[in-house]
Amino acid sequence: YLLEKSRVVGQQRGERSYHIFYQLCRSPWAPALSLDSAESYRYTGGSGCTTIAGVDDATEFEEVQASLYAMSFSQEDIQWVFYMCSAALHLSNIRF
């Protein structure tokens, strides 16, 4: 995937945004980050596609977290990455 801001704020019908958003919503971190289901956020629920057949977002999240540890990210750095991703989800629901 290209790292582009348009992919964060809008997707085509039936497409998902960045996978980490959906993974975080299904992760053990979700309660600490005050995250609800992916359908609850405009950035993840807007396209109508929050799941992919054959993909377990909770399991994929564990793989992401293990990969971050394998790349020598500190627990604090990993925590901040997840905080920033969850902040983007929370901000998606603000209406002006």
Write down the pTM of the prediction: 0.85
**Residue 34 CA neighbour count, 13 Å, CB half:** 7
Q: How far is CA 72 from CA 2, 26, 36, 66, 69, in A?
A: 24, 24, 29, 10, 5
Average pLDDT over residues 62-72: 97
Residues with Cβ within 8 Å of residue 51, at least 6 apart in sequence: 22, 57
pLDDT at 89 over 60: yes
Nearest C-alpha neighbor of 23 from the set 76, 62, 53? 62
pLDDT in tens, 9-57: 566 666 788 889 999 999 999 999 999 999 999 888 877 788 889 999 9
